[in-house]
Chains A and B, each alone.
Chain A
Amino acid sequence: DGGITQSPKYLFRKEGQNVTLSCEQNLNHDAMYWYRQDPGQGLRLIYYSQIVNDFQKGDIAEGYSVSREKKESFPLTVTSAQKNPTAFYLCASSPGQVPYEQYFGPGTRLTVT
């Protein structure tokens, strides 16, 4: 079955700790994206990558880092520098540059206390 997987579904961390969220896709998509969703805020773009070994900052990249060493994987690290890390994080992928729709993973809910 083709799709996007994110793990874990729920994640709890103490303030000051870095945490890495996993995103894997087997759709052979070139582009991958990370979004953050807060209540009443819609989805905001954190980072995106169009090809392996290349990525760009989105609208709210501060306090986050990513890597794209393999086409199918795009992990997101939430660092201790992120002031309000508690949120729902969604990963997405799309085939490439032509306006294709983005397909979303099931999300990871991160709670930092």
Chain B
Amino acid sequence: EDKVVQSPLSLVVHEGDTVTLNCSYEVTNFRSLLWYKQEKKAPTFLFMLTSSGIEKKSGRLSSILDKKELSSILNITATQTGDSAIYLCAATTGANSKLTFGKGITLSVRP
């Protein structure tokens, strides 16, 4: 059974802190790993990491895929209150691009 595990499940930090969110996966026919941010409703896409693109960066957010360790991290530097959200990690498997999601990490950034 495909499995994606995220840790920690929740995190409280103060503005300006740097945080690292973890994701590990055990899936058959792995194709890519995706990170989403969910603030109330629809998850919004952050990054997709594949064998040909194991490191991505956008502003204060960056992500790395470690295919040997079957894991990924999402880093957020100089956190802001607007970063408060649930961060979802998902692995794409097989030919049908089916996504298997982790349970999500709830990040709270205090002023």
Contacts and interface: CB of A to CB of B under 8 A. Distances in A.
B96 A101 contact: no
Interface of A: 31, 33, 35, 40-45, 48, 50, 56, 58, 90, 94, 96-107
B96 A105 contact: no
Interface of B: 4, 6, 9, 31-32, 34, 36, 41-45, 48, 50, 88, 90, 92, 95-104
Nearest to B106: A40
B42 A43 contact: no
B31 A43 contact: no
A33 B97 CA distance: 10
A99 B102 contact: no
B92 A42 contact: no
A31 B97 contact: yes
Contacts of B48: 99, 101
Contacts, number: 61
A99 B32 contact: yes
List the 5 closest pairs (A to B, CB-CB), nearest first: A99-B32, A104-B42, A42-B103, A43-B101, A99-B31
Contacts of B92: 99
B41 A107 contact: yes
B45 A103 contact: yes
A101 B36 CA distance: 10
Given A97-B96, A101-B34, A44 B43 contact: no
B8 to A, nearest CB: 13
Contact of B101 (A40, A44, A56): A44
Nearest to A50: B96
B96 A107 contact: no
Given A105-B42, A106-B42, A42 B97 contact: no
12 contacts: A42-B4, A42-B88, A42-B101, A43-B43, A43-B88, A97-B95, A97-B97, A99-B48, A100-B97, A101-B45, A102-B45, A106-B42
A103 B48 CA distance: 13
Given A56-B96, A99-B32, A41 B45 contact: no
Given A42-B101, A104-B44, 13 more contacts: A35-B101, A41-B103, A42-B102, A45-B99, A97-B95, A97-B96, A99-B31, A99-B92, A100-B97, A101-B34, A101-B45, A104-B42, A106-B41
